[in-house]
Copies of this chain bind each other. A is one copy, B any other.
C-alpha cells in the first residue's frame, strides 16, 4: 500500500497530534493551517483536505463531495447529521467511501451522564443541595419523602443503539424494568423492544423516558404534545440525543401542567437556549450544556478510536462504527 495522507481538523494538544502522527507512520499526517473553535462548528475547508486519502474530524459536506482522493471519512462525533442526507449517502456509496463515526468514544460518558441524571432526580440532589434545614423540619420530612429509590423503577429508552446497550449494562444491579424503542426489532437486543407503532403503551408505563434519538427527518420533534400526553403522570424525561427531536413548547407545557415530574436535558434547540426561553424558568427543568459526551482525555480516546480503525482499514477489515 502506498503512503496515505491522513487529514485531521481535530483540536488538541501537540502531544496528542504527535502521538497520532507516530501511530500512523509511515503514512502522512496533514493538519489545517487554522483550527475551528469546536468539533461541532462548521469550520472552513482547508485546501490540504482536498489532497487527503483519509479524513478524521468534521469536514464540510461540500469539501467531502469535492475531494479528489478521499477513501474513508471518520467523523469525530457520535452525531453525523450534516452528512445524513440522501444525496450525501448516494455520493459516498457511489464513490465507495466508507463513513465511520466516533460513537464508541462517547457511549460510556453519555450512558454515565444520563445515569447521573436519573440518580440525581431519584435522590433529589438539586433540591437537597440548596436546602438548609434541621432534621425533623417540615421541609426535611418533605424532601426525604420525595426522595426515591431508582431500583425497581421502570424505564423506556427511545433510540436503541450503543449508548442504550451500555446504559442497560450499567443499570443491571438496579433491576429496573427496561424497554426500548427501535425502528426495527432485530432480535438480539438486551431488553424487550417496541417499534414506533407500539410505543404509546410503553410511554404510559415508564417512570423514566430517555431520548437518545439521532437527528434526522424522521425524528424531528418526535417528542410532541401527543407523546408527552401519553406519558405516565409524573414521569421523568431525559434527553441526551439531539435537541431537534423535541417540541420544546410542548415539553414546557407538560412540565408546567405536572404531566411530567421533571426534565433533564443535555441537548436543546438551539444550544444554548435564548436567555428568555421558558425552559430556563421552570424549576423542574434541569439543563447541562451538551456535556454528556465529555470526558477527561476525550481527545486521547478519540484518537485511539481512530488509530484502531486505521489498523483495521490497512488490514482490509471491517471498520468499527461504520454508518454509511
Contact = CB atoms under 8 A, between A and B. Distances in A.
A282 interface: no
Interface string A267-300: 0000111010000100000111111111110100
B298 A128 contact: no
A120 B124 contact: no
Contacts of A150: 112
A135 B112 CA distance: 20
A115 interface: yes
A272 B149 contact: no
A201 interface: no
Contacts of A124: 291
Contacts of A38: 134-136, 140-141
Interface string A121-151: 0111110110111111100110111111111
Chain B CB within 10 Å, residue with most, of A41, A108, A133, A288: A288
B123 A272 contact: no
A103 to B, nearest CB: 16
Interface residues of A, number: 63
A296 B135 contact: no
Contacts of A295: 144, 147-149
Contacts of A187: none
Nearest to A173: B170
A120 B131 contact: no
A123 to B, nearest CB: 4
A151 B289 CA distance: 22
Chain B CB within 10 Å, residue with most, of A135, A174, A280, A290: A135
Contacts of A129: 126, 286-288
A289 B123 contact: no
A294 B135 CA distance: 11
A150 B275 CA distance: 32
Contact of A112 (B40, B151, B275): B151
6 contacts: A38-B136, A109-B147, A112-B151, A116-B123, A125-B125, A133-B289
Interface of A: 36-41, 108-109, 112-113, 115-117, 119-120, 122-126, 128-129, 131-137, 140-141, 143-151, 169-174, 271-273, 275, 280, 286-296, 298
